[in-house]
Amino acid sequence: MDRVRLEYKSVLGFVAEEEIRRQGEAVLLAHKRLHAKGGEALGWVDLPVRRDLQQLDEVIGAADQIRSHSQAFLVIGIGGSYLGARAGIQMLSHSFCEVHYSSGPAIYFAGHNASSTYMADLLDLLDDRDISINVISKSGTTTEPAIAFRILREYMERRYGKRMAKERIFVTTDGKKGALKKLADEEGYTSFVIPADVGGRYSVLTPVGLLPMAVAGLDVEEIIRGAADAHARLGSSDLAKNDCYRYAVLRYLLYQKGKAVELLVSYEPCLQYFAEWWKQLFGESEGKEGKGIFPASCLYTTDLHSLGQYVQEGRRILFETVIDIERPRREVQIPEDSADRDGLNYLAGKTMDYVNRQALLGTLLAHTDGGVPNLILKVPQLSPYHCGELFYFFQKACGLSGYLLGVNPFDQPGVEAYKKNMFALLGKPELAQRRQELQGRLEDLTP
C-alpha cells in the first residue's frame, strides 16, 4: 500500500482493543471541534486543499529565481518558522548536501538561536558566494530572527547595494500587519503571506515551509499532493478508519497508563530534524496545565548504543513511535571478503538496508518484551509525497490528541514567561521595575 499507515498490534499487550473503541465518542467530539468553522484549529485543517493559502505558483517562481542567482540561501526563522522547512529539506536531500552540491544553492539557517559564535561563523561563509535570504516571522519582532535579519540585511546592503539587495531578500510574514510586513512594503521585498489563522507549528505547508523547500530543489507540488491525499484519507471521524486518530488515541491511553515520555524513533539519520519538528508540534500543543507526554527522539541504530540500555531496562515510563521507512532512497551491498576476519560473510551480498530492517524488527520485539510499547508508522519511502503525508498525519493527530487530553492544542501561553523576563533584563524601558526585581533575584542566586 503506497501510503503512510499505522501498525499497533504489538501495543495490544498494553492497551485492549475495547479501550480503544471506548474512545470513539470522544474522538467524534474532538473531530467536530477540529473541523468547526471558526474553531480554534482554523486554517491548517484544510490547508492542503486551499490553493489560495499555499501560494504555490509564486513560491515556485521565487524559488527558481533564487536558485538561478544564488550559491547560498539563508533561511531566517525560529520555532514554527524554522523546523518544518529544515525537516523537509533534510529528509529529502543528499545527506551531505552542504558539501556535495547539486544544482541549487546550499541552505543555511539563521535566527534560530542567539549564539554569536554561530552567527560569526556563518558570516565567514558568505563573502565568496552569491546569497539570497528568506526571513520568516509573523510579527517581525521575534528577537532572534529580528537580530539575525538586521545583521544580514546590513551585510546584503553593504555588499550588493540597497537596490540590488532587494532582489535577494524574500519575506514571509503576516498579510496585513506587523513590523516585517511594513518593512517589506516600504522596501519592496518580494513577500509571501503566513495565513492569519494558521499557527506557527502548523504552518509548514504554507510559504513558511514551502519556499525554503522549493529553493532546496524539492518538488513542493508533490508535497502538497501527499498532504491533500492525507487530508482526504484522514478526514473520517470514524476511529476505526482513521490512522492518525488511532495514533492519537493510543498515545493518550498509554499516557493514562503511566507512559510519560514518547520517543519518536527512526533508523534514518535524515529524519533528525523531522523529529525536532514533531517535538515542537506535540510538546507545544500538549505541554500545558501540568499535563502532556514529554516528546523525545532517538536515531537508531546509533542510539541503541546509547539510550538503548535505558529504553530496554530503565524506568518503564516510555513508549516508542517508530517511523519505518520501507524502501531506502539508496542501497549499498555488503561485499564478500574471502578471509572473513570480521565474521561478516554471512551478510555478504545482502544490503545494508536489510541489516537496518532486521535491527528495526529485532528491536521492536526486544523493547516490547522489555515493557516499552511500540507504535509503528509505515512509510513506503522518503519521497516528497510521503513527506507531505507525514506532516499532515502528525498535525491532525496532534490536534485531536490535545483535545483528548483536555487542553487547547493551538495556543502556547507558556512561551511568554521567559520572553517577559528576557525583555526586562535586556533593558526594555517599559519593564524597568521588573528588571530591578529580576536582577535582585539573580544576585541572590550567584555567589
Residues annotated catalytic, as ranges: 284, 305, 419
Question: What is the SS3 string spanning 345-401?
Answer: HHHCCCEHHHHHHHHHHHHHHHHHHCCCCEEEEEEEECCHHHHHHHHHHHHHHHHHH
Question: How many CB atoms neighbour CB 185 within 10 A?
Answer: 11
Q: Considering only 35-43, 135-143, 213-221, 238-246, which stretch makes contact with a copy of itself by CB under 8 A?
A: 135-143
Give the bridge partners for 376, in sequence order.
7, 322
From 55, 206, 280, 383, residue interacting with a copy of itself (rule: CB under 8 A): 280
User: What part of residues 58-87 is at the interface with a copy of itself (CB under 8 A)?
Assistant: 78-80, 82-83
Give me 423's grid cell: 525583555
Are 107 and 216 spatial neighbours (Cβ–Cβ below 8 Å)?
yes
Q: Counting contacts by CB under 8 A, is residue 315 touching a copy of itself?
A: yes
Among 161, 188, 289, 406, binds a copy of itself (CB under 8 A): 289
Candidate residues 313, 406, 432, 436; the one interacting with a copy of itself per rule CB under 8 A: 313
Q: What is the DSSP string of 163-194?
A: HHHGGGEEEEEESS-SHHHHHHHHHT-EEEEE
Least Å distance, CB 11 to a copy of itself, is: 10
Question: In the complex with a copy of itself, which residue's Cβ is closer, 106 or 228?
Answer: 106
Task: Please say which residue, 38 or 413, places its beta carbon nearer to a copy of itself.
Answer: 413
Measured CA to CA, the distance from residue 323 to residue 343 in angstroms comes to: 30
Bridge-partner residues for 194, per DSSP? Answer: 174
Of 191-199, 212-220, 235-243, 268-276: span binding a copy of itself (CB under 8 A): 268-276
Tell me which residues in 22-61 interact with a copy of itself (CB under 8 A): none
Should residue 432 be labelled a site residue for a copy of itself when binding is judged by CB under 8 A?
A: no
User: Does residue 338 bind a copy of itself (CB under 8 A)?
Assistant: no
Nearer to a copy of itself, 54 or 412 (CB): 412
- Nearer Cβ to a copy of itself, position 25 or 98? 98
What CA–CA distance (Å, rounded) separates 337 from 440?
Answer: 69
Stretch that binds a copy of itself, among 29-37, 51-59, 119-127, 167-175 (CB under 8 A): 119-127
Coil vs helix vs strand at 101: coil
419 is an interface residue for a copy of itself by CB under 8 A: yes
Closest CA to 77 of 163, 139, 4: 139
Q: What backbone phi and psi angles, to 5 degrees, belong to 350?
A: -80, 165
Contact between 125 and a copy of itself per CB under 8 A: yes
Tell which positions 368-407 bind a copy of itself, by CB under 8 A: 369-370
Does 417 help bind a copy of itself (rule: CB under 8 A)? Answer: yes
With binding defined as CB under 8 A, does residue 157 bind a copy of itself? no
The residues in 177-206 that bind a copy of itself, with binding defined as CB under 8 A, are 179-180, 182-183, 186, 200
Looking up cell 528577537, which residue turns up? 143
Q: Which is nearer to a copy of itself, 24 or 328 (CB)?
A: 328
- Nearest approach in angstroms of CB 51 to a copy of itself is 29
CA distance 166 to 168: 5
Please choose, out of 168-176, 231-239, 245-253, 434-442, the segment that lies near a copy of itself by the rule CB under 8 A: 434-442
> Residue 273, class by beta-carbon neighbours within 10 Å (0-12 exposed, 13-18 middle, 19+ buried)?
buried
Q: How many chain residues interact with a copy of itself (CB under 8 A)?
A: 143
From the list 51-59, 90-98, 215-223, 394-402, the region that binds a copy of itself by CB under 8 A is 90-98
C-beta of residue 304 within 8 angstroms of C-beta of residue 358:
no
Spatial CB neighbours of 181, under 8 Å, sequence gap ≥ 6? 140, 171, 173, 174, 175, 191
